[in-house]
Amino acid sequence: MDKADFPRDKVCAGWITPEVVAALQLDVSAYAGKHVFQPITAIRTGLIDGRDLETRYADTVSYGIRRSEFDDYLLLRSGARLRLGEGLTSMEQRGSRWIVNGSLSTPLIVGAGGHFCPVARFLGARPGAAESAVTAKETEFEMTPQQIDDCKVRPDTPELYFSQDLKGYGWCFRKGRHLNIGLGREGHQGLGRQLKHFFDFIRERGRIPRDTPDDFHGHAYLMHGRTQRKLLDDGVLLVGDAAGLAYPQSGEGIRPAVESGLMAAASILEAGEDYRREKLASYPARLTERFGKPAAPRKAFPEFLRPLLARKLMDNRWFTRNVVLDRWFLHAHQAELQIG
Ligand SMILES: Cc1cc2nc3c(=O)[nH]c(=O)nc-3n(C[C@H](O)[C@H](O)[C@H](O)COP(=O)(O)OP(=O)(O)OC[C@H]3O[C@@H](n4cnc5c(N)ncnc54)[C@H](O)[C@@H]3O)c2cc1C
């Protein structure tokens, strides 16, 4: 069940790491023949208003997709019976079954409705001020031949520019003829101001066409470990953004959404047809094994020193390659998901 009709757009840059392709067993040649599938072999990084540097790789380290295409493809491939264009508006427990929207009877509900998922709310989530979320905005459009000529962002080299306080970053991500520009940061404060500043910065620097449209769309989501949502109860569990699983440093949320879906499926199968909470307990255990325990609160680094530290770190080639990119963005230390 999804409140949207498909294909639908999702506010997202559409950057996926290779483990997403592996976990989904995506037939790359079939997919890439008909859809945007942009290999990434280098990444340009820097600070907003600062210098930048390019890190090149021998192999493809990530891909760019368009969510309108990717999500539709996966939905059709799943072979699931679909109820599209219908939002979940009510869920009532009757014995060991749920009655959804007064008409659908099911023993189990998987809440996959993103940050504002109604199933997460049913389990007690209160999206808003009570949760520490990332807020992000992006715009994606197909460039004209003139704009392609004017665009300095190369398709195989997305660009990431971090804010001076290191609490967020902006990106320019070109996927073939499509350009995606956006900015995300921790918290609800100052997103619009920072986005405008970033947009002016990359335009002035000549990275994007001067007539790039600025109709940005935004969304919020949680970083794993920063806010704890209840994930499980009798006959109900949460996956993806509904569960608040995005990687804290990069904001990558597609991989945890896909992997949590697979882990949830494995636990559901193991439970037989008995979906009481204790029978589904292997699901949160799998999540902890994969993504770790909730992070301890970080020691505050004095605000006035942050810009200095940011400059030192982001100007450093070793730190950029090994920590920012390999560790924070590409998770080179984390193997493909194996479900035991
Ligand atoms: C600006 C921005 C850029 C991002 N860029 C990246 C990126 O490049 N790479 C990356 O890995 N992550 C990125 N993310 C994060 C990523 O988009 C999410 O983590 C990911 O989409 C989570 O997937 P999901 O399936 O859990 O939720 P969603 O993708 O949000 O899907 C939720 C679905 O639930 C449906 N729904 C919502 N409410 C209801 C309801 N009441 N009833 C029925 N259906 C409902 C929606 O229509 C939607 O189809 C970005 C996020 C933002 C905001």
- Cis, bond preceding 7 (omega within 30 deg of 0): yes
Radius of gyration of the chain (CA): 21
Cα(244) to centroid(ligand 1), Å? 11
Cα(13) to centroid(ligand 1), Å? 11
Query: Which residue, 64, 76, 65, 71, is CA-closest to 112?
Result: 71
The CB of 182 under 6 Å from ligand 1? The reply is yes
- Cα gap 103→285, rounded to integer Å: 33
**Cα-based distances in Å from 236 to 42, 119, 133, 187, 294:** 41, 8, 23, 29, 21
The CB of 259 under 6 Å from ligand 1? The reply is no
Alpha carbons within 13 A on the beta-carbon side of 95: 5
> What was the pLDDT predicted at 130?
80
* Residues 6 or more apart whose Cβ sits within 8 Å of residue 329: 43, 160, 249, 250, 252
Which residue positions in the chain have pLDDT lower than 70? 295-301
Q: Which atom of ligand 1 is nearest to the CA of 260?
A: 26
Query: Which residue, 101, 99, 120, is CA-closest to 110?
Result: 120
> What was the pLDDT predicted at 297?
59
> What was the pLDDT predicted at 65?
98
The CB of 87 under 6 Å from ligand 1? The reply is yes
The CB of 244 under 6 Å from ligand 1? The reply is no
> What was the pLDDT predicted at 339?
87
> What was the pLDDT predicted at 299?
61
Cα(50) to centroid(ligand 1), Å? 31
Amino acid at 25: Q
Phi then psi dihedrals of residue 40, to 5 deg = -115, 125
The CB of 19 under 6 Å from ligand 1? The reply is no
Tokens 């539709």, located at residue: 72
> What was the pLDDT predicted at 307?
84
Helix 254-270 vs helix 282-291: crossing angle, to nearest 10: 150
